[in-house]
Each structure stands twice: as structure tokens, then as C-alpha cells.
Structure 1
């Protein structure tokens, strides 16, 4: 399919689905190859559908559009094909895949729109100035336009750069004959017949050459084939007078026909002809003369007739031995060295060179001396552009070699001596920066090798001795701080191996002795707090492997015997045991023990070499466990209270078919499918509120295909996985279902990211290499490009206007990565956010400010992860919540506040799970309700008694309870309803005199409708509106006297619309936001 070029006269040799297919694997390389195969099979509609699977953010998109255009062009609807080509041209697709120009030119030429076809070919010529195929198509265009001289000129260019372009020899031969140039025409057609020996083109060429030159091709020449030389008058006279056809002329072939006689005369003449620089005498005469001089004409005479083998029958088949001998002794050995020799520009100088082929196209050209390659050589790609500049001595690379990509950018320099790498090798990124530098001695790595980041800055450095790493191997972050360090000795680790986080603290430490790990191994959260630990002695595990939660609680402990696991204990975030695994001496699972949140065993399984053998169910109040069938019917696991937790079936000791998993409330938590013990097919997870949480597909225990994530019951993300890695488009959605962000991954690495305005237009577009941003573009809501930032080699302070100047971003870059302060201000200088970065990651304190200038959040980060106390404020500036993170884990106290800074609610959480007692307060500060949790599960509550004390625990069954806690005067203090652990319905807090202080509505833990907070005088402090826990609509804040303070319009949980700030009840400033970004200050 790639060969789109038209043979002259004769032929020569965003994805959307009505129903989601979760097994669909996004693989653009496969789509391209499948589409091309379908095209070649004539299944054009299927090919089009396959090409359409490739999305626009994919680097292969432009190739897919090119292939699609070619596919449309062979169909009946030429107008549709033309419209597609025009759209591709107008949208700039052809600039991304320049072959498009040539394909469109061919299409237009076929449709007789010659002027526009010429324009497309000329566009292509700017990019492919040495493409024989392009020259050929231009020649065909001019032939159709009756501009034959231009056709001749381009055919000769094609033949000069590509001796193997059979179509050009063929067309040139036909034009020459029609112009009365029988010698020239014969030479060109003989070249064609030497290269091609089957098909109608061969038959036609043979018939043309078999016509008597004394009676045919008699038109007077009107075209110029050479500006000098090519004086063939002598042979022309001989041919025109039919002298070779006389019986006296001895034919050196058993086939005595017009073609053989005339061709033999031309060949014998060539052996005597004096070359004077004409095109035909430099291109064709030498190899025809060589055939005669090497006495190969008889074999040649049979070879050129192979195209009419069926017509000639025994005349030709009886000569098979001679044909084979000709192929072996001449065509395969001597022919190309003469046929492909021509004079061309070689690095600015006209030189006689030999053109060598790869996949039947020129790929190497340079000089030869005594049959050996010498001097400078060009390496060519399939389009004829130079991709390599070689230096050779006696067929061996010697000196500096240079390599380029298809766009002419230098990609590599490497030094050789006598065919072996010697000295420096430098590899370059496409932006021109150095990727790595290596040093060689006698074809082996020797000395320092250094790698670099795409945007600049040293990545790693290591020493080599005799092709082995030897000495320090040190890696760095973009900002120059150390990333890792180790020493090698004769290619083996031989020292402490230390890894550092971006903050400069140790993240991992190992100890090696001559390639074997020996000593303690630590993993840290911050260089101090241990994340995991284990010890080795001479490569063997000698201590338990322990993993810790950020707060120091043991998460997992594995013991080992003879380097195989012996026991594994996994704990919940609160430190209680979750499950325990015992292994046999060979490291296979022998027993699984499952525990409730109080270290009490409720289920046990035994295994033998990976297959389940027995299961025991323990229940509250029963001293003896119950056997659970594992080979027949449903396999059921329950908790101590008899609630089903797991249901499935086994086949031959391994999981088979659908398995269902449940929360302790009885609600479904997950569905999975198994085949022979491995996850296969569709899997679903559910939140505690019974809403769908995710849908994904597995192949042999590996995520493969479409992965959907849901939040609050609505689709929030769609990912594509290939072999367990993100690959292809990944989309995020606003609560209303519109797209908010789109990323594109290639084999697990981020390639492109687009953040959208809520109207669907792109806001910020970023490109990545090796997960580092290399370029950013910013657009206005109406699609206008506002600015562009290129991060390559950026080591400077920058001030950039965003959103038409509404925001000013001030930052410092170190080798393209954010380093130090990143401050965002509005056009009046008011700070919108104050951030700190280390090596491109948030680190330290971050403060965001709202429309009033008051903070909206204060957070602390460690190496990109939230760490430490956080505070969050409403847009009026009052504290609404505080929490604590430990290296990205929600661990520590969390409190929510009233406007008066008094606590509304407080509890502790471990890794996001509520643990212990959650306390609710009124605005006066009185504790009015306690709710008890263990590992995020509601166990009990304590409400006010008749004396106003919190004294008696009330157990909760199934995490469902309607709770009303009342003051001693009988008035309701708080009303809250839990369903399976989720707040559902009204949540109301009142003062002792019955006045409302706070009220909200929930739909299974999701805020829905208005949330209102009141002053003690009964007036509204704020009225917020929610939809599925997202801010939606007008949010209003009032002063204690009832006058408006701040109003803000929200959509999809973002500031979107007008935000008005009031002074004494009168608007003092209006700001316009779009998708949470300040785009205009109106007043």
C-alpha cells in the first residue's frame, strides 16, 4: 500500500462506541498494519474503520489519515476522497506527513486537475528533493499536460538518483521512441527489461523493440534529451537502414528476430562508442558495452525476452541454463557495479559514484576505487533524503560518521578507525540537545559515558573499562541534585547503592559486594521515616521484610527460609491484622488466614502448589469451624456475623468463572472473572454507597483494554491499557459528562496532555518526552492561541501572561523544570497562588488565594506528595476544614469548622479510613454526638442523655442508623441518618433554643441541594448549592447583618461565571472566571 505511485500505461511490479468493548486494546501500530492489510485485500470499508481507530493525539494519526486518503481514493466516491484530501491540506496534516502531498498530487493528476496536482507535487519537492518516485509522478503529470520536455527532464533526474526505478526507464524509453530517438529509446527500454521480467509492461516494451526501426518511430525529434553529447548518428543510420536485419549480420543468439538483431547492433555499437557526457551515453552505454565486452550478450538476449515467456514457449525455456548462468555470472555479480555507476553531486562536488539498494531503493552512494568503497558516502532513506554521512577507507568505516533523521536533524556522531568504534560517540535528541556521550577504544566502551535530559542537564555518568562499568555511577535530577550513586567493579555493583528523592534525602539504600546484595536495605519516606526494611547476607535474605505505613504502624511483614517466603502478615492501617499467609518450603502458599478488625480469625484456606484444598468458616458464638466446600457448587466466605464477603467457584483447585465480593454491610464491592486461577475478562468495583466505582478488563491477570473509573456514580475517567501499561487516549470528565482533560500515553509514558475549558475548547496543551514537559501552549476559551512556552534549555526566571493578561505566572526554570517559587498574580498584582517547587515537583508550603484575597487553602508538600497539616477556607476567607497528610496518605486529625472558627466535626483517619470516635459540635462548642468507627466502619454512636451528657454507647447494625441527639430541653441538637455507613438524607444541627445552625442534604454520602450555615442571630452566613457533592450554581455568603458579602457562580465544582465582592452590601469588584481560571477583572 505504501507504493502509491501510478504506473504509466501498464502496471508495475476518536474512537466512539455505542456500547463499550472493554477488551478493546488501543494499539495504533497494529491498527496501521491491519488497515494496510485490509486495503491490500480490497476490504476498503474495513480498512477505513480501522484507520479511524487512531485518535488525533497519537503520533501515528497523520500516517493513518494518509492511509485513509489513499483508501478513499480507490473508491467510487471521488468527491468524498477529494474533500478528505482538501480537509487534510487545510488542517496542516500534510505538513506532518509530507507523503500526503504526493498522494494528493497523484489523485488530482488522475482527476485531470493538473494545475493543483502540480502545486501538491511542488510542495512535496521542497521536502523530498531527491525522491525518484516524486520525479516520476511529476513526469507523468507533465506527460498528461502535454509538456513532454518537463517530463523528460524529471525522468532523467529520477533515473540518475535511482538506477532501479524501472517505471522511469520505461516511460523515458517510450517518449524517446515516439520522439524518433530509436537508439535512446531502445537503451532505456533495455534497462527496464533488465530490471523487470514479467507483466504487460514487459510485453509492450518487447513489442516496441521488435518493430523495425526503418519503418517505425519516424517522427522528427522535438525534445532535448541531453544538452551535450549523446551523438548516436552512426548507429541511428545503421538502424534506420535495417542493416542489422540483413542476413549477413551474424546474430549471437538462437532467437533470430528483429528485436535481437537491433538490440545486438546497439550493444555492439555501445562497446565502441566514445562517451562525451550525454545522459544516455553516461547512464546506458557503459553497461551495454560491458555486456558485449564480457561476452554476455547471448544470455542477455534471452533475459530481456522473459516477459513473453508464455508466447515464446520452448524458444525461451530451452535456454534456461544460459539464462541462469547469465543471472549468476553477470546480473548478480557485475551488472550493478556498472549499471548503477553515475556522476552526481556528492557533498557539493560532482563525483562518479555507485548507487546501492536496500529494499529495491537507493540507500547508499559514494565512490569506489579498485572495487572498494572509499571516501564520503551518503546514506539515504526511502524518500531519497540523506540520513547518514559516512567516511570509508577500503570498505571500512574510518573517521567521523554522522546520522540524521527524516527531517535532516543530526541524531548521532560516531568515530571509527578501520571499521571499529574509536573515540567519541554522541547521540542527540530531536531538539538538538545531547542525549548521551560515549567513548570507545577498539570497538569497546572505555572511559566516561554521560547521558543528559531532553531539556538539558546531566542525567547520569559512569566509567567503563574494557566495555564494563567500573567506578562511580552517579545520576542526577534536572536541577543537578543527586538522584542515585553506586560504584561498579568489573561490571558488578560493589558499594552502597543510594537513591535520593527530589528533596535530597535518601529514599533507598542497599549494600553490594561484587554483585551480591549484602547488609541492610532501607526504603524511606523522607530519609528518616522508614517505609520498608530487610537484611541480606551474601545475596540471601536473613531477616523479615517489613513495610510500614507513614505513621510507623506495621503494614506488612514477611519472613523467609532459604530465600523463600515462610509467613506473611498484612495489617490494616489501624495496626490490626487483616490476613496471614503461610508458605511451604518451596515458597508456595499453604494457608491463608483472614481476620476481622479485632485480630479474630474468621476464615481459613489451605493450598497445595497453588491449588485450594480445604476451607474453614468461623462464626461468632460457635466453638467449632464449619467446612466449606471448595470443589462443588458455590464457594462462600462470610464474616463472623454470617454476612457473605466472597462468593465464587473453583475448578481443579483454581478460581473459575464469576466471583463476587462484598462489604461487611452486605453491599457488593467487586465482581471479577477467572479462568484457571487468573483474572480474565470483565471486572467491576463498587463504592460503599453501592454506586459503580470502576469497570476494567483483564487478560491473564494483567489489565488490558478499557478501564473506566466512576465518581459519585458518574463516569469520571476512561483509560486504555496494553499489557498492563497505559497506552493510548485517557480522558477525564466533568461531573456533567463533558471532557475536562485528555492525556495520551505511549507504552506507559505520557506523550501529550490537554486540559479543556468547560466549553470543550483546549485550555492548556502540553507535550512530554520521558515524562518531562517540553512544550506548553495556552488558549483562550474561544480557541485563540495566547502563548507558547518551550522548556528546552530553559534556565531562567520567567514571567508569562495567561488568559489575556488576567493572570501573570512568575517562575524559575532549571533545565526546563520548575525550581523554587512559582507565584501567580492577577493583573493588579494580587497573589492568586504562592507555590514552591523542587525539580518540577511541589515541595514545601503552597497557598492559594480566593477572589477576596483571603486564602482558600494552605498545604504542605514533600517531593510532590501532600505532607503535613493542611487548611482550607471558604471563598469568604473563613476556615472550613483542616487535615493532615503523611507523604500522600490521609493520616492524622481532620476537623471541619463553623464560620466562628468553632469545630463542627473532628476525627482521626489512617490512610483515609476513619478510626476511633468522630465528634460533632454545635456552634457554642458543645459536643452533641459521638460516632464510633473502626477501620472506616460505623460501630456505635453516643447521643446526649437527659442530663446533656454523652454517656451510653448504642451499637449500630449493618452500619445503618437514624440518629437524633437532643438537648435536655427536648430540642434536637443534631439529626443524622446513616445507611450502610453513608450519610443519607438531612443533616441538621440546632442550638439549644432550637434555632438552626447548620443544615445539609445527602444522597448516600453525596451533598445534594443547598447547604446552609447560620449566624447565632438566625441570619444566613452561607448558602451553597451542590449536585453530587460538587459545587453547582450560585454560592452566597452574607455578613451578620444580612448584607451580601460574596457571591460566586459555580459549574462542575469550578468557579465559572461571575464572582461579586461586596462592601457594605454594594458590589465593589466583579471577577469573571472560566473553568476555575480568572479571565477578567471587570471592576
Structure 2
């Protein structure tokens, strides 16, 4: 009896000792992390909160925190490696004993200003489960999804615009689209609304896209699908008056076999047919016509570029090439649909290279002028100086000058018909800072703005009336607040509301 009791006591002690000696699974950081700091117990197990340091920050700026007692995890973003600006919270939640996400997890927008929730939802053993919400920066609902064991549960997934209106709706079943689908895409002055159905993950039945604008709504695109392929092989796009703009034909495999574009009067504008290619880049043979029906050009296209020109004509039927060699290396002229000279381009073995000119029309104060833009194309696109020139009363006059770096204008000046400077901007290539200045006809500064490339407004440096007196420009500071815009007479036109450099409203 005593032997059994002693044996039991010894066995119990061994079990307790084994539990005490058990090693806790330690968190392993992803990426180029160099160090971690924290405490360990007598058995070498990590306890309490540990700090993890990443990349170039050695052991001075922890970016991740994990508490082995509470299981809470936090991940931060370092917004500036040269200063001690506060870290920005990226996500937080809990990890289970297997270091898999569990419970409620929250991710945050990278606002650099404040904590703003981006997504919020639940994990079970590392996979999403239940309802997940996505929020805009202002806290309004962007989308709602419901998951079950990591897969989208049967039901409807919805996404919203910032104003609360429905952006898209899609029915799911077995983690794939199945049922009604709708989507709205907004653009300045108009929107596209798509309606259709999915069946087992593929488009099925009637699909229609409507174009809506201030004057009404019309059918823009129509097709009938079966298992994701256009039935009858055709997808049609329409003009506002119902005339056909484009017909895309498909073969039995669902591949595009021909695409036709039409002018408003129904005459053929362009026919594109896929053709054999000697490499892995898809190629099409394009035949283009002028509005009068005469042949404009016929060429092979690869990756959006002329690859081989078969023929190129002006509206009278004359050959427009200046020089040309096989493989589309040379210089040639392009004409618009009315037969007007559109561009003079130089192509090398790697695409556009060298001198480049474009031509067109511009209306100024009710009068139309022909313009030409001249410059150089390099390996990264536009490079160096580009000038826009018109002819007024027999005299050439510069309307705009640009200096390009890697296809981005970093310095621009605009002039009026009298040759007076009306606006200019400069972009710092290193920092992306953009200083933009507008002038009154007198030459005095109207506004001088500090922006962040490409066009995020940060601060107003100057805001003057025509006499050079300061105007109330609003409250904007570092991209957030109001900005008052004045007309050429110095009168208030519009007040914009901005957040992080972007317009969120106006009044």
C-alpha cells in the first residue's frame, strides 16, 4: 500500500516536472529581422512581452511585439528611418499556442496621422471565420464578407462607395461566384453599371453594361455567356444613340478571333485579327480605315506597339512612310481619321526612340489653332525638353515647355497667347515634393502650392488677390483641412475639403 502511494507520488512529480520543462513554441519573425529582446523563465521559456527589431534598425526601433502571457501581437510600420517619428500600428490580434491567428484581428490604414481601422474580423486557428468588414479611412463601410473555415460562405458579398451607396454585389456558393452580380464604376461625369449572373464561377446568361451620365443612360456593352464564353461568339459595344461602336468575336474556345471598330455613321474604322507570332508575345494584324473608307494603315502589333508595318497611307492614298526597314525600324508619319497629320515617330529595335512630334488642334478663347509638340523619346519614355508650339498670325509661339525624367514631367511652364507665364511647377526627383505656382495676367503670384507627387495638396505657401494682398486660403495644413480656390478676379469660387492631400468634398 505504501509502495503504491510512493509510486503514485513519484509519477505525479515526474509529470509535473515534464510539464514545467516543456518548451513554449517561440514566435519567428518573417523577413530580415536581426534581433529580439525579452525575458525567459527558469526553464528557458519566453515570458511577458518580447520586442522584435527589423532590417536596418538593428536593436533601436522594434517593429513587432508579442506577449507570451496574454498572446497579444502588434505589428508597426516605421514611417521615417531618419527620425524618431512614432511608429504606425499596422495590425493587432492574438496568436494561439501554435502561433496561428485566433480571435479578433484588426488591420489599420497607413495614414501616418492616426489609427484608422481598415479591416476587422475573426480567425480560428489561422483561417478567417465569420463576418469580415473593410472600412474606408473615414470609418464608413467599404465591404462585408462572411467566411467559414477560410472560405467565403454562401451568401452575398457587398462593397460600398464612401458615400454609402452600393458599389458591387456578388453571390457566392462553395467559395466561388454563383448567382446575381452587379457593379458600378464611377468616372468624372459618368459611370458604368454592370449586371449579370455567374454559374459555378463562370459568367452565364445575359451580361449588360450601362453608361450613365448627366443626360441619361444607354446600353454600352451586351453579351450572352455560357460557361464563361460568349454565346454566338459576339460581344457588342454601343454608342449613346444605339449605334454599334465595337464587335468582338470569339471562337469555340472562347478566344478572340476578330475585333471590329466603327465610326459613328457605321462605317468600319478598324479590324483586328490575332496572328501567329514567332515569340511568346501575342500579335494582331490591324487594318485601319479613314472616315471616307479609304485604307489608312495595315500593321502587326505586339505589346501595344507597331511591330511590322505592312502599308501606311494618307487620305489620298499616298505612302506616308519617310523611312522604313523590316521589323518596324525607321521613321514614319501617322494620320488621324480625318487625314490630318497626327505624329512623326522614330522606332528602333526596342520601340520608340529618338525624335518625336505630335500634332493636333487646340481651342483658345474661341479660336482653333493647330499645334505641334516636339521632343525626344528614350528608353524610359519621354526624356529632356518637350515644347508645344502654335502658329499665330504667321509667327510660331510656345504655349508650354516641359522637362521630362523617366516619362514624368518634372518641370513645366504654360504661357498665354501674349507669351506671358500663367503657371509652372517643379518636382524634386529625390523627395517627390511638387511646388506649383499660378499667376495673374499681371504676372503677380495667384497661388503657390506645396504638393506631393503626383498631385496631393499639402500646404498653401502663397494665396494672393490681383493686388498682391493675402487671401484666406482655408485651414489646410500638411494635407488635411479646407482649401479656398479663387478665380482670376480674386473672387472665391469653391472650398475643397481634403484629407491626406486628397479632396474628400467641396462646398
Task: Name the TM-score, length of structure 1 as normaliser.
Answer: 0.31
Equivalent residue number for residue 93 of structure 2 = 390
1:497 corresponds to 2:207:
yes
Using CA pairs below 8 Å that are at least 6 residues apart, which structure has the higher relative contact order?
1
Residue 445 (structure 1) aligns with = 152
Taking a change above 3 Å as real, the CA distance of residues 714 and 339 of structure 1, as seen in their structure-2 partners, is farther
Gaps of 5+ in 1: 1-293, 295-334, 342-350, 604-644, 791-799, 823-1083
| Deviation sequence 1:390-429 (CA, Å, 0-9, x none) | 1333233222112333433223323212221112333334
Structure 2 vs 1, CA of residues 431 and 768 (structure 1 numbering), >3 Å: closer, same or farther? farther
SS of 1:494 mapped into structure 2:
strand
Match of 2:292 in 1: 574
The alignment partner of 1:409 has SS state of coil
Give the superposition deviation at 1:595. 4.7
CA–CA distance in structure 2, aligned partners of residues 433 and 771 of structure 1: 24
Q: What secondary structure does 1:538 align onto?
A: coil
Q: Deviations over 1:238-275 (max 9, x none)?
A: xxxxxxxxxxxxxxxxxxxxxxxxxxxxxxxxxxxxxx
Query: Out of 114, 129, 146, which is 1:408 matched to?
Result: 114
Is 1:364–2:70 an aligned residue pair?
Answer: no
Matched, 1:646 2:325: no
Measured in 2, the distance between the counterparts of 1:776 and 1:536 equals 54
Q: Deviations over 1:30-56 (max 9, x none)?
A: xxxxxxxxxxxxxxxxxxxxxxxxxxx
Partner of residue 514 from structure 1, selected from 203, 208, 227: 227
What are the within-5 Å matches in structure 2 for residues 1017-1056 of structure 1?
none
Q: Is the Cα contact below 8 Å between 1:683 and 1:697 reproduced in 2?
A: yes
Aligned to 1:734: 416
> Does structure 1 residue 694 correspond to structure 2 residue 367?
no
In 2, Cα distance between the equivalents of 1:780 and 1:428? Answer: 39
The within-5 A match list for 1:655-1054 is: 655-656=328-329, 659=331, 661=333, 672-676=345-349, 678-685=351-358, 692-699=372-379, 703-705=381-383, 708-712=386-390, 713-716=397-400, 718=402, 720=404, 722=406, 732-735=414-417, 736=419, 738-740=421-423, 757-758=440-441, 759=443, 761-763=445-447, 779-781=463-465, 782=468, 784-787=471-474, 802=486, 806=491
Q: 1:338 aligns with which of 39, 46, 49?
A: 39
Deviation string 1:351-395 (CA, Å, 9 cap, x unpaired) is 9423333334423334324xxxx4433333444554433133323
2:50 pairs with one of 354, 362, 380 = 354
What is the match of residue 378 of structure 1?
74
1:485 partnered with 2:195: yes
d(CA) in 2 for partners of 1:500, 1:380:
44
CA distance in 1, matches of 2:450, 2:196: 35
Query: Which whole-Å CA distance do the structure 2 matches of 1:485 and 1:776 have between them?
Result: 44
After superposition, the C-alpha distances for 1:300-354 in whole angstroms (9 at most, x for unaligned) are xxxxxxxxxxxxxxxxxxxxxxxxxxxxxxxxxxx9552699xxxxxxxxx9423
Alignment CA distance shift 1:596-1:393 (3 Å): closer
CA distance in 2 between partners of 1:549 and 1:443 (Å): 49
Contact 1:776/1:788 (CA < 8 Å) preserved in 2?
no
Mapped partners of 1:596, 1:660: distance in 2: 11
More strand as a share of residues: 2
RMSD of Structure 2 on Structure 1 (CA): 5.3
Aligned-partner SS, 1:440: strand
Per-residue deviation, 1:649: 5.3
**What runs of 5+ residues in structure 2 fail to find an aligned partner?**
1-20, 22-35, 79-85, 362-368, 391-396, 478-483, 497-502
Aligned length: 400
Which whole-Å CA distance do the structure 2 matches of 1:424 and 1:764 have between them? 47
Q: Distance in 2 between the 1:649 and 1:732 partners?
A: 36
Helix, strand or coil: the match of 1:648?
Answer: coil
Which has the larger share of helix? 1
Secondary structure at the aligned position of 1:526 is classed as: coil
* 8 Å CA contact 1:648, 1:655 repeated in 2: no
- Note closer, same or farther for the CA distance 1:540–1:516 as it changes in structure 2 (3 Å cut): closer
Which residue of structure 1 aligns with residue 240 of structure 2? 526
- Work out whether residues 209 and 222 of structure 2, in 8 Å CA contact, stay in contact via their aligned partners in 1: yes
Matched residues in 1 for 2:114 and 2:495: separation? Answer: 36
Note if contact 1:741-1:755 (Cα within 8 Å) is conserved in structure 2.
yes
Deviation at 1:530, TM superposition (A): 1.8
Alpha-carbon distance, 1:704 to partner: 4.3
Q: Which residue of 1 aligns with 2:166?
A: 458
How many Å separate the matches in 2 of 1:460 and 1:453?
9
The answer to whether the 8 Å contact 1:507/1:525 transfers is yes
CA distances 1:457-478 after superposition (whole Å, capped 9, x unpaired): 4332323334423333322255
Larger Rg: 1
Q: Tell me, in whole angstroms, the C-alpha distance in 1 between the residues paired with 2:485 and 2:134.
A: 36
Q: Secondary structure at the match of 1:498?
A: strand
User: What secondary structure does 2:212 align onto?
Assistant: coil
